[in-house]
Amino acid sequence: MATLRFQALKETLNRKPVEVEEKERRSELFGKNVFTESVMRQFLTKEAYQSVKEANATGKKIDRTIADHISTGMKEWAISKGATHYTHWFQPLTGTTAEKHDAFFETIGDGLAIEKFGGGQLVQQEPDASSFPHGGIRNTFEARGYTAWDPTSPAFIYGTTLCIPSVFVSYTGDALDFKTPLLRALQVIDQAATDVAKYFDKNVTKVQATLGWEQEYFLIDSALAASRPDIQLAGRTLLGHSPAKGQQLDDHYFGSIPPRVLSFMRELEKECMVLGVPVKTRHNEVAPNQFELAPIFEEANLAVDHNSLLMDIMQRVAERHNFVVLFHEKPFAGINGSGKHNNWSLSTDTGVNLLGPGSTPMKNLQFLTFFINTIKAVHDNEELLRATIASASNDHRLGANEAPPAIISTFIGSQLTEVLDELEKVTDGKLSPQEKTELKLNVVGKIPEILLDNTDRNRTSSFAFTGNKFEFRAVGSTANCAQPMTVLNTIVGKQLIEFKKEVDSLIKGKKMKKDDAIFNVLREYIKDSKNIRFEGDGYSQDWEKEAEKRGLSNNKNTPEALKAMVTEKNIALFADLNVMNKVEVEARYEIELEEYIMKIQIESRILGDIARNHVIPTSIRYQNILIKNVRGLKDIYGDDFRKYSKEQLEIVEEISAHIAKINSGITEMIEARKKANKMEEAEEKAFAYCNDVKPFFETIRYHCDKLELLIDDEIWPLTKYRELLFTR
Ligand code: ADP
Ligand code: MG
């Protein structure tokens, strides 16, 4: 009997929901362990508090002596909450979060000790950078890296540790993390969008990018997960035949949440509340055992931190509930994968959502300005946007079941399409008073304030406008949102800078009125960016053909997609706006390629192991049972045995045929790996893994899955899809 599998099943079937107490209201729990403004007022001197606020609002540096005051206050607060340690909490390019805890405790001689946490320790730390991905930025003999406090994201206490959100840079000052370029990109969009927003309201002095992510994930019982080496090591199944019933009946989506899962969610949400992560929505997703969690949107940098923190908390809470969280974009073949929709908008310090239509023609012109500039930016940079969401795991999702294609396009709905069609007809040059009145009344004025309820939702678009925000749907569930957010804010920022220049030059050079100039520039943008707009079914074959005709990219795999990162145009884009210098971009490219290679290499090894050490021996065992049976029949029936053993012998032969294919497939796959491993250049190697190694996955899997259907269930060692997806 396949012991581990059946033990795991038994364990799973005996589980009860873990009790979760909810004594306090959510609103009372919210932000309890966060160094919020009101806490700061309580624990900081007036000067120190002002200085943090200023750093937040204007990016002004915090003075070292003030930092000493802040750290003292922070320490007092943390200790009062039971914290014993502090850490700079950062997001290296591994895709997870990193922390190295230090105790507040310090000896002062004479056998005495105190709690200490100075400004220096708050502001900067020096972790060894050599074990984090650096893409060649760091010399081997210069291992130093620095983490530095990011005062725009509040410190929080997790467990008994004070966590200080930080950036991570090399000795040379180059970014080694996700946060540094994001902060730079957010500065770009702030400046650019503020300048444009001033056309409409002089009082605007700051624009924030906002982000609301939706995190999809699978929950699998921990015992079942442990019974599958592929889930354990790769976070996804590399083989497994589809169950008779999957998601065909749509009976999981928005269904009642299973009790064990609900307990998990409740505890998770409690932890999120305490840490100030404003989670709001929870529900079953389309695939069995797939779920989603979404927060209320926040300022983009904070939202990114909160998503990273959430992913970490989820695993820990899941453990207490005997679950494993699968963030992988495609843990199971044949059913929906997981994404992380990035809902994005821009919001002014006067409280206006720049992508939300308004109540007056002027407000709507402002909306259209930001709306059309975003579309133009996406049009001009679609390939870069595609690159930013590329990963080995997201490759399985993009273009697959119920997932956006690898083609970037924007969906805006019929109402806004009509508006843009009208604006395209605006007169070249100065507008007549009649035309302006007409426009204001019948085009711009007709955009309803509440588009939200009127926008059609097109779930097949990779970058859809949804009433008062854009939703970047192609982002993968494992992604750090900082990547797409860095690129999106950079390209829209650049676009807005361009726009301002063009409008100003019409105002000054052609003596146009502001409105006329804006209409003129927008008209050209609408024409120029038409190709990126698509209202039809993004999952269809027709769209692939149409997109090709339009000259849109369709980079189906990561190595192909990543190339856009290092084109001359894109290196210049990042460098000109000081988001990333050439060294940083090239290092990231290298790191992404390496990660891709490693992921495919690891999966290839796992698949080889499972197929050779689990599937083939089990199949032979079953073959022997059949052969023994045939021998027995021969003993009893003599020459007549053929009549009774025909089927058995057919199965015996079928098994042999599959085994042969699996075995030769593995041998060839290993050869392909060896060849790839000899390659020096990461790019060439990544392509070799993609084109020469990965294709074996499918053939090997195919034959393993066929064997799963033939072999006696009692001895099949790998927990089946049916069991993974339907046991709770
Ligand atoms: P769905 O896409 O599932 O229909 P909603 O449209 O209600 O769900 O919202 C999805 C996410 O979009 C939520 O996390 C929400 O906070 C976020 N969101 C709403 N408004 C904005 C905005 N102005 N900027 C960024 N995110 C937003
Ligand atoms: Mg959504």
pLDDT of amino acid 451: 66
Say yes or no: 317 and 415 in one domain.
yes
Q: Measure 457 CA to ligand 2 centroid, in angstroms.
A: 10
pLDDT of amino acid 453: 57
Computed over every residue of the chain, the mean pLDDT equals 93
Q: Measure 123 CA to ligand 1 centroid, in angstroms.
A: 34
Atom of ligand 1 nearest to the CA of 356: 23
- Domain limits for position 568: 186-580
- Provide CB contacts within 8 A for 382, sequence distance 6+: 408, 409, 532, 552, 553
Count of structural domains within the chain: 3
Residue minimizing CA distance to atom 11 of ligand 1: 212
Average pLDDT over residues 114-121: 87
When mean pLDDT is compared across 44-53, 187-196, 453-462, 575-584, the lowest value belongs to 453-462
Say yes or no: 469 and 410 in one domain.
yes
pLDDT of amino acid 247: 75
Residue 595 has pLDDT above 50, yes or no: yes
- What confidence category does residue 139 fall into, taking pLDDT thresholds of 50, 70 and 90? low
In whole angstroms, what is the distance from residue 63 CA to residue 433 CA? 55
Residue 208 CB coordination number (10 Å): 20
pLDDT digits (tens, 9 = 90+) for 14-41: 999 999 998 989 899 999 999 999 999 9
Q: Which residues line ligand 1 (CB under 6 A)?
A: 210-212, 214, 294-297, 343-345, 353, 466, 468-469
Taking the CA of 404 as reference, the closest ligand is 2
Within 13 Å of residue 155, how many CA atoms lie on the same side as its CB?
27
Q: Which alpha helices (H) appear in 535-567, and where do they start and end?
A: 541-550, 558-562
Reduced to 3 states (helix: H, G, I; strand: E, B; else coil), residue 429 is: coil
Say yes or no: 568 and 627 in one domain.
no
Say yes or no: 601 and 486 in one domain.
no
Last residue of a domain, one of 155, 177, 199: 177
Residue 722 has pLDDT above 90, yes or no: yes
pLDDT of amino acid 449: 64
Say yes or no: 169 and 193 in one domain.
no
Strands 323-326 and 161-170: unpaired
From residue 9, how far is each of 14, 487, 708 by CA, in Å?
A: 9, 45, 18
Residue 7, in any domain of the structure = no
| Alpha-carbon 515 to chain mean position | 39
When mean pLDDT is compared across 355-359, 482-486, 663-667, the lowest value belongs to 355-359
Taking the CA of 283 as reference, the closest ligand is 1
Is residue 707 within 8 A of residue 655, CB to CB? The reply is: yes
- Provide CB contacts within 8 A for 84, sequence distance 6+: 103, 104, 105, 160, 161
Residue 4, in any domain of the structure = no
pLDDT digits (tens, 9 = 90+) for 328-362: 999 999 999 999 999 999 999 999 999 998 888 88
Residue to substitute in 343, 453, 466, 468 for testing ligand 1 pocket (most ligand atoms within 8 angstroms of CB): 343
Q: Measure 691 CA to ligand 1 centroid, in angstroms.
A: 38
Say yes or no: 549 and 683 in one domain.
no
Better-scored residue on pLDDT, 284 or 707: 707
Average pLDDT over residues 558-573: 98
Say yes or no: 384 and 532 in one domain.
yes
pLDDT of amino acid 322: 97
CATH at residue 515: 3.30.590.10
When mean pLDDT is compared across 56-70, 410-424, 559-573, 672-686, the lowest value belongs to 56-70
pLDDT of amino acid 286: 83
Better-scored residue on pLDDT, 278 or 97: 278
Q: Measure 471 CA to ligand 2 centroid, in angstroms.
A: 7
Q: Measure 244 CA to ligand 1 centroid, in angstroms.
A: 35
Average pLDDT over residues 426-433: 91
Say yes or no: 356 and 433 in one domain.
yes
Q: Is the ipTM of this complex over 0.90?
A: yes
pLDDT of amino acid 377: 98
Better-scored residue on pLDDT, 248 or 349: 349
Residue 337, in any domain of the structure = yes
Residue 586, in any domain of the structure = no
Residue 121 has pLDDT above 90, yes or no: no
pLDDT digits (tens, 9 = 90+) for 203-226: 999 999 999 999 999 999 999 999
What pTM value is reported for the model?
0.95
Residue 411 has pLDDT above 80, yes or no: yes
Residue 456 has pLDDT above 70, yes or no: no
Atom of ligand 1 nearest to the CA of 294: 14
Say yes or no: 211 and 297 in one domain.
yes
Say yes or no: 79 and 150 in one domain.
yes
Residue 141 has pLDDT above 50, yes or no: no
Q: Is 6 exposed, middle or buried (0-12, 13-18, 19+ CB in 10 A)?
A: middle
Residue 349, in any domain of the structure = yes
Say yes or no: 505 and 650 in one domain.
no
Residue 9, in any domain of the structure = no
Within 13 Å of residue 494, how many CA atoms lie on the same side as its CB?
23
